[in-house]
Each structure stands twice: as C-alpha cells, then as structure tokens.
Structure 1
C-alpha cells in the first residue's frame, strides 16, 4: 500500500509519542510529559504527517505565518521507514504549504547535521536559544 500524506489531520498524543519513540527524536523530546506533548500538537499550525495505512510513520510539525518564516520544530520518521525519502517528502509538502519566499528554519539534532545541507538548507550562525526555567 502506498504512503499517504495528510495536512493538519488530528494526531493523538499516543500516536505522536509512539512515533517519537520509534525515531531518533524520542531522545530529545519530553515523552513522559503528557501536557507538553498535547501542547506541541495543539499549538502547531502546520502539521504534515505520513501514514502507512493507519499507522503514523512520519511527521513535520511547524509553527508558521506562512509568508515570512516557518519554524520546523519536529521532523521525525520511524526508524523502520527511514532511507525511503519520507523525510524529504515531508519537507517538500511543508514547503508546498508555504507562500513563495517563506523561509523554513530548524534546529538540527546533532546526528542530523549532515542531512540538511544537500537538501538546500544553509547553516546559520545567527540562532539564539533562551529556555525559560
């Protein structure tokens, strides 16, 4: 069965958590914090997901104004489904949802730094992070 890509469909916290656990993002996300995971899904305004039947196997979760900037907060693909082009397809579907000229901005996981440059991303030294305690 071919994969299906869906835009802004409801994803349960359990589906989201399970995907994060099956991808490398699970190591850097608050899997044990139900309220945080709910907020991550509820307040993202662009979510592209990829499904194998009714199983969530990938997600691109973003916050955007659709015109100037899109912060891609999560790009995750189930480890069993990696190296099939799903991450690139999620990026393309995300870009297709944006107006021309809108920048996609992300913070790469250390193990994924090599992934983005061949896709046309440019490294920026201008990123700053502040974490509220």
Structure 2
C-alpha cells in the first residue's frame, strides 16, 4: 500500500465506532471498551483532523487549543494498515497550520512513540507535570 489517495477533513464529526476501530488498529491505548466515553472525548474537541482513504477513516488527531498560545495534541492515531505513509506527519502539519505560528503544540507521547516525535520537530520538555487519570 505504497500510494493511496488520502483526504483530510477539518472538524468533521466522527462516529465513535470508527474512532474505536482506528484506536484499536493503531496500537494507541484509549478506553476503547467504553463507546460512550469515546463519544464524549470527540463531542466538543476544539480541533479534530481526520484522514480518509475513500470512505474509511484511517487516521485522526484531536487537540484542545485556544488558537493563540497553546495547543494540546491529545490524540494522534493511524490505522496500522496505513502507518508509514506520512499520515501522522500530515495530521500534525495540518494541526500546526490550523493553530498558527504563535501557538506551541504540546503532547504526551506513548512510550513506543518516543523516537517518532523528535523526527517531526518536537523537542523534549523537562518542565512538564502530570496528574494521571484514575481510569
């Protein structure tokens, strides 16, 4: 699957079951056994960008942002079948273009993706703090 036509859509409402399928396939850890929670996660995001191969959702990014200073990229997932085609990079580029140059993009990386983000111009931050979710 070296050359497939991928289209990207900005703030298109996503079916929670499509989101769960991409999350499961991508390897990202999210509450995929709780469709109502997934629906709430995508009910009012500030910025959602989706990647489509024909009518199939194959990738997505979800960010919370004020469009002025900070953007938290909370989800970046690409279906395993479509990984390695530059879709994740394109989703990040589209996120950065949507929020503009005055906005910092911040994310928490999954352990398996720690080497991926520096290749996309992200730098490690030593001044971050976290209170982990209970479930």
Q: TM-score, normalised by structure 2?
A: 0.92
Q: 1:39 aligns to what?
A: 40
The 3 A distance-change label for structure 1 pair 107 and 100 is same
Contact 1:67 1:100 survives alignment (8 Å): no
Runs of 4+ in 1 over 2 A off after TM superposition: none
| C-alpha deviation, 1:66, in angstroms | 1.0
The 3 A distance-change label for structure 1 pair 132 and 18 is closer
Alpha carbon RMSD of aligned pairs, Å?
1.2
Between Structure 1 and Structure 2, which shows a larger proportion of helix residues? 1
Contact 2:20 2:35 survives alignment (8 Å): no
Matches within 5 A, 1:89-128: 89-128=90-129
| 1:86-131 superposed Cα distances (whole Å, 9 cap, x missing partner) | 1100000111101222010000010000001121111011221113
Q: 2:14 aligns to what?
A: 11
Counterpart CA distance in 2 for 1:97 and 1:30 is 27
Contact 2:9 2:51 survives alignment (8 Å): yes
The runs of 5 or more residues in structure 2 that have no matched partner are none
Aligned partner of residue 117 in structure 2, secondary structure? helix
Q: TM-score, normalised by structure 1?
A: 0.93
Q: How many residues align?
A: 131
Contact 1:60 1:91 survives alignment (8 Å): yes
Q: 2:71 aligns to what?
A: 70
